[in-house]
């Protein structure tokens, strides 16, 4: 009963915002970014006639919530894009029909015999067909959700100005689980969130369903994201109590029509905290029983519950090692509780111990590789892209390729914890692509990280990719207009890890800003170089982890002391009067040995190491000759300055687009770019002032000295920087 009421409320919310004409009233309100890439503003005038002719009629059933979602999206989208909604019809009565459905939902699709079987449950095809002599476009799938994904793809064709003739598109996801991780606390705070408070209004759930939840689901479904972990990995046991499970269930009701399953982060010590047990030892029969009962309780409320995400024995979180058990013991116990219901455990490999004196970059590999083959079939180990922590640039994590018997899933960060928060324009798809294309060499050349993640390298039965969300209650969802591109790109690359960052950027710009070539090209250009620029002005040449303590805002390469060495900056850069960099070769921590031999040789050899990882793997003297011919110190300064210059150029480019983009969004981006320039300069100046105390060298000719003294930079404090961990 309860569930039915919520479902009705959810459907009402969708209908309400549909009727309110969110996309039906183009330009009725200034663009504030709420509509994301689903703006559905009128297409270019020269396309309108053709598109109207191709999409004059819509044949779409609405017998299930997912079918209704596809039909409503097509009506909404086409009405917005073409100025007039297509006519709904049961059959094709004229040229220019769009037919959407599955062989079971649509007699027409069944009759067309379109060979959908090989597309799997979530795949779809979009094909130009003829129905009794009338020209039509079929969007066909095996399952309603595939048809919904196909509907979004079809709309994207119009949104990006593609021709609709002779279509023959077949798509299926390369990765099975494409999930967002929300680091949202139950009190509304978002850890590492820069887009305001959490969008989950826990207090008013389950009775009030913010219409935003349905828009969230639409946006995710438009990318093929099919899972969401609602709560922070640093989780509270409270989220597993009946009161909060009802709230999670209400969200699951809203998301279900859009193919999105709900997951929860589970606190390992929950049996003690909310179960009244004395232990959370995974081998204790009482503990096992408690989790089995908890799983049963969850599935009664959320029949398609996805499973648990677990951060254990990491950064002070409880875990199986508290009882002398392994990560596998812990993960398997939870996996056994979920298995009867079809749930999955995503066990994080982001672990490093409180006591361990070893190089932090080595610890996950050391702990997890010996456990390969010891996990249950419904466990995935979730690995961050790099071995430290979401730095502007990291070499790929050595675990990728090293656990052939354990499905490893990727964890990328979409929110920009170490990349300038919301105000820096940093397009992350080139970073995702760089990791996915990296070659682990574990099964010879071509053993890319993408092939580990999509399961093709080791034949994984489960595959997945997680993105730590940048979504919050800000009107524009992501904290800035350009940060929407990172949510978008993550979703697209999770669907297909081989997509090119540039192509994704172009799609997004066309959908978000404009289809005009002289807008698209410069904006894509800005985006494509933006991540490299951030690397330059923050952490060039393989430097890493030099941000402000705790909040990670701004430069602080001078951080030392405190509770643990690997939470300081000096631990990572190791600058002395002689040189700089972390020796991870055989003469140092030997972290290079965790890679396959050809990769280890390349990273470990000064002659061969890609210069972007120079100081990640090597400690080199200040006068070391870099590939440009400049001594290391000069090269560092050169790169810091180059980063700042790039931001200055982005500002120029953006200024040139004044009048070409709606005023409200243009103005906010311009203001944020100004902040970015100021902060890039701050990064450069503070870093140079600090490292010069070691190098003792003058600035290269033509380089401006830092604007302030080192003492000034060191004195800056930011007690209220957003997103802090707790
Ligand atoms: C780090 C964050 C911290 C997270 C941690 C994690 O600083 O807030 O809890 O990662 O991934 O990046 O668990």
611-643 burial, b at 16+ Cβ within 10 Å, e below that, comes to eebbbbbbbbbbebebeeebbbbbbbbbbbbeb
390: left (phi over 0), alpha (psi -120 to 50) or beta: left
State mean pLDDT over 85-91. 95
Q: Which atom of ligand 1 is nearest to the CA of 389?
A: 12
Q: What is the pLDDT of residues 530-575, one digit of tens each?
A: 999 999 999 999 999 999 999 999 999 999 999 889 999 999 999 9
Ligand 1 mutation pick, 192, 236, 265, 722, max ligand atoms within 8 A of CB:
192
CA 170 to ligand 1 centroid distance, Å: 38
Yes or no: say if 31 and 80 are a contact pair by the CB < 8 Å rule.
Answer: no
The secondary element (H helix, E strand) that includes residue 500 is none
Token pair, residue 55, equals 């999409």
Residue pair 682/555 in contact by the 8 Å Cβ criterion: yes
CA distances (Å), origin 230, targets 224, 239, 486: 17, 10, 19
Taking CA atoms, 71 is separated from 15, 23, 507, in Å, by 12, 14, 23
Give the count of beta carbons closer than 10 Å to the beta carbon of residue 117. 9
Domains of the chain: 37-171 (3.30.379.10), 177-511 (3.20.20.80), 536-582+619-715 (3.90.1330.10)
Say if CB 531 and CB 646 are below 8 A apart: no
Residue to substitute in 181, 184, 191 for testing ligand 1 pocket (most ligand atoms within 8 angstroms of CB): 191
Ligand 1 pocket residue status of 389, Cβ below 6 Å: yes
Characterise 690 by phi-psi region: left (phi > 0), alpha (psi -120 to 50), beta (else).
alpha
Do 84 and 52 form a contact (C-beta atoms < 8 A)? yes
Q: DSSP letter string over 213-254? A: HHHHHHHHHHHT--EEE-S-SS--GGGGSHHHHHHHHHHHHH
Whose alpha carbon is nearest atom 11 of ligand 1? 350
Nearest atom, ligand 1, residue 418 CA: 12
Contact (Cβ atoms closer than 8 angstroms) between residue 360 and residue 393: no
Alpha-carbon distance 82 to 47, whole Å? Answer: 9
**Is 417 a pocket residue for ligand 1 (Cβ < 6 Å)?**
yes
Distance CA 495, CA 410 (A): 13
Q: Which two tokens stand for residue 272?
A: 């003690």
Q: What confidence tens digit (pLDDT) does each residue in 349-365 have?
A: 999 877 777 899 999 99
- How far does the centroid of ligand 1 lie from the alpha carbon of residue 24, in Å? 41
pTM exceeds 0.75 for this model: yes
Is the beta carbon of 149 within 6 A of some atom in ligand 1? Answer: no
For the CA of 191, the nearest atom of ligand 1: 8
8 A C-beta contact, residue 94 and residue 118: no
C-beta of residue 338 within 8 angstroms of C-beta of residue 285: no
In the prediction, which pLDDT does 451 show? 98
**Which pLDDT does position 415 carry in this prediction?**
98
**390 touches ligand 1 (CB under 6 Å):** yes
State in Å: Cα 511 to ligand 1 middle.
32
- Whether the predicted pLDDT of 712 surpasses 80: yes
Radius of gyration of the chain from its Cα atoms, rounded to whole angstroms: 26
Q: Which residues pair with 228 in a beta bridge?
A: 180, 262
Pocket probe mutation, ligand 1, options 189, 231, 234, max atoms within 8 Å of Cβ: 234
For 459, the token pair is 């034949």
Pocket test for ligand 1, best of 267, 410, 725 (most atoms within 8 A of CB): 725
DSSP E strands in 11-117: the ranges are 57-60, 87-88, 97-101
Tell me, in angstroms, the distance from the centre of ligand 1 to residue 282's CA.
24
If you take atom 10 of ligand 1, which residue's CA is the nearest one? Answer: 389
Give 165 Cα–ligand 1 centroid separation in angstroms: 48
Cβ–ligand 1 distance for 567 under 6 Å, the answer no
Q: Which two tokens stand for residue 330?
A: 């812990």
Ligand 1 within 6 A of CB of 233: yes
- Tens digit of each residue's pLDDT (9 = 90 or more) over 587-615: 999 999 999 999 999 999 999 999 999 99
| Cα angle value 628/633/636 (rounded, 5°) | 70
Question: What ligand 1 atom has the least distance to the C-alpha of 317?
Answer: 13
pLDDT in tens, 642-685: 999 999 999 999 999 999 999 999 999 999 999 999 999 999 99
The CA distance from 552 to 562, in Å, is 15
When pLDDT is averaged across residues 173-200 and rounded to a whole number, the result is: 98
**Least-confidence region, from 66-75, 156-165, 557-566:** 557-566
Q: Which residue's CA is the closest to the ligand 1 atom numbered 3?
A: 725
Q: Report the DSSP pairing between strands 408-413 and 168-171.
A: unpaired
Cα(410) to centroid of ligand 1, in Å? Answer: 15
Average pLDDT over every residue of 36-59: 97
Report whether 574 contacts 546 (CB < 8 A): no
pLDDT digits (tens, 9 = 90+) for 474-533: 999 999 999 999 999 999 999 999 999 999 999 999 999 999 999 999 999 999 999 999
Q: What length does the chain have?
A: 726
pLDDT > 70 in the chain, percent = 96
Q: Tell me, in angstroms, the distance from the centre of ligand 1 to residue 188's CA.
A: 17
Strands 177-181 and 261-265: unpaired
| pLDDT at residue 169 in the model | 98
In sequence order, the 6+-apart residues with CB closer than 8 A to the CB of 693 are 710
CA of 532 to the centre of ligand 1 (A): 23
| Any ligand 1 atom below 6 A from CB of 352 | no
Of the chain, the end-to-end C-alpha distance in Å amounts to 39
192 lines ligand 1 (CB under 6 A): yes
Catalytic residues: 315, 389, 417
**What whole-number distance in Å separates Cα of residue 54 and Cα of residue 46?**
14
Structure token pair of residue 716: 């800056």
Closest C-alpha to 188, from 178, 179, 176, 200: 200
Position 119 scores a pLDDT of 97
Instruction: State in Å: Cα 191 to ligand 1 middle.
Output: 8
Cβ count near 194 (within 10 Å): 23
**How distant is the alpha carbon of residue 630 from its chain centre?**
37
Ligand 1 nearest-atom number relative to CA 390: 12
CA nearest neighbour of 237 among 277, 209, 265: 265
311 CB within 6 A, ligand 1: yes
User: CA 121, CA 74: separation in Å to the nearest integer?
Assistant: 21
């Amino acid at each position: 009963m309860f569930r039915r009421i919520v479902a009705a409320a959810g459907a009402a919310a969708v209908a309400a915002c549909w009727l309110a004409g969110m996309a039906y009233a183009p330009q009725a309100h200034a663009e504030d970014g709420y509509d994301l890439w689903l703006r559905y503003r009128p297409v270019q005038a020269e396309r309108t006639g053709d598109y109207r002719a191709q999409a004059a009629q819509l044949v779409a059933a609405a017998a299930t919530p997912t079918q209704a979602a596809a039909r409503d999206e097509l009506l909404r989208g086409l009405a917005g894009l073409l100025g007039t909604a297509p006519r709904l019809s049961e059959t094709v009565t004229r040229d220019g029909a769009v037919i959407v459905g599955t062989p079971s939902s649509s007699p027409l699709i069944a009759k067309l015999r379109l060979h959908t079987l090989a597309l799997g449950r979530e795949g779809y095809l979009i094909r130009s067909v003829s129905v009794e002599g009338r020209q039509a476009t079929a969007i066909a799938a095996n399952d309603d959700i595939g048809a919904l994904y196909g509907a979004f793809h079809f709309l994207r064709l119009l949104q990006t100005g593609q021709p609709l003739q002779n279509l023959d598109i077949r798509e299926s996801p390369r990765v099975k689980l494409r999930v967002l991780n929300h680091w949202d606390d139950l009190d509304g705070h978002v850890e590492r969130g820069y887009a305001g408070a959490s969008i989950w209004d826990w207090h008013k759930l389950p009775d009030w369903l913010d219409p935003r939840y349905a828009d969230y689901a639409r946006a995710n479904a438009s990318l093929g994201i099919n899972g969401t972990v609602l709560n922070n990995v640093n989780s509270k046991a409270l989220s597993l109590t009946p009161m909060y499970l009802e709230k999670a269930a209400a969200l699951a009701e809203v998301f279900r029509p859009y193919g999105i399953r709900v997951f929860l982060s589970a606190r390992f010590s929950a049996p003690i905290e909310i179960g009244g047990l004395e232990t959370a030892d995974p081998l204790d029969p009482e503990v096992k029983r408690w989790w089995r009962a908890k799983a049963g309780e969850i599935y009664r409320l959320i029949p398609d519950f996805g499973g648990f995400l677990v951060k254990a024995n990491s950064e002070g979180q409880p875990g199986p090692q508290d009882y002398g058990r392994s990560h596998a013991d812990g993960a398997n116990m939870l996996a056994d509780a979920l298995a009867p219901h079809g749930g999955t455990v995503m066990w994080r490999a982001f672990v490093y111990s409180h006591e361990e004196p070893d190089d932090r970059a080595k610890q996950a590999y050391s702990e997890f590789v010996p456990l390969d083959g010891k996990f249950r079939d419904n466990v995935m180990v979730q690995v961050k892209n790099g071995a430290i922590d979401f730095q502007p640039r990291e070499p790929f994590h050595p675990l990728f390729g090293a656990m052939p018997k354990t499905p490893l899933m990727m964890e990328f960060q979409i929110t920009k914890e170490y990349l300038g928060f919301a105000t820096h324009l940093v397009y992350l798809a080139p970073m995702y692509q760089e990791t996915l294309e990296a070659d682990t060499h574990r099964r010879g050349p071509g053993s890319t990280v993408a092939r580990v993640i999509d399961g093709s390298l080791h034949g994984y039965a489960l595959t997945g990719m997680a993105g730590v969300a940048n979504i919050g209650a800000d009107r524009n969802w992501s904290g800035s207009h350009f940060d929407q591109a990172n949510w978008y790109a993550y979703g697209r690359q999770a669907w297909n890890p081989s997509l090119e960052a540039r192509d994704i950027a172009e799609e997004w710009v066309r959908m978000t800003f404009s289809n005009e070539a002289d807008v698209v090209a410069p904006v894509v250009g800005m985006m494509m170089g933006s991540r490299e620029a951030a690397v330059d002005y923050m952490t060039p040449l393989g430097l890493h982890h030099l941000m402000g303590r705790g909040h990670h805002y701004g430069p602080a390469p001078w951080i030392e002391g405190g509770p643990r060495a690997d939470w300081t900056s000096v631990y990572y850069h190791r600058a002395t009067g002689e040189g700089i960099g972390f020796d991870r070769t055989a003469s140092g921590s030997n972290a290079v040995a965790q890679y396959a031999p050809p990769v280890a040789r390349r990273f470990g050899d000064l002659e061969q190491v890609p210069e972007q990882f120079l100081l990640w793997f090597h400690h080199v003297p200040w006068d070391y000759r870099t590939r440009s011919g400049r001594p290391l110190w000069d090269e560092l300064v050169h790169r810091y300055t180059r980063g700042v210059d790039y931001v200055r150029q982005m500002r120029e480019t953006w200024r040139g687009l004044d009048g070409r983009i709606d005023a409200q969004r243009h103005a906010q981006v311009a203001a944020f770019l100004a902040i970015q320039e100021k902060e890039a300069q701050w990064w450069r100046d503070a870093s140079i002032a600090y490292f010069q105390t070691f190098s003792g060298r003058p600035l290269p000719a033509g380089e401006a000295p830092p604007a302030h003294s080192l003492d000034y930079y060191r004195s800056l404090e930011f007690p209220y920087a957003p997103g802090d961990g707790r």
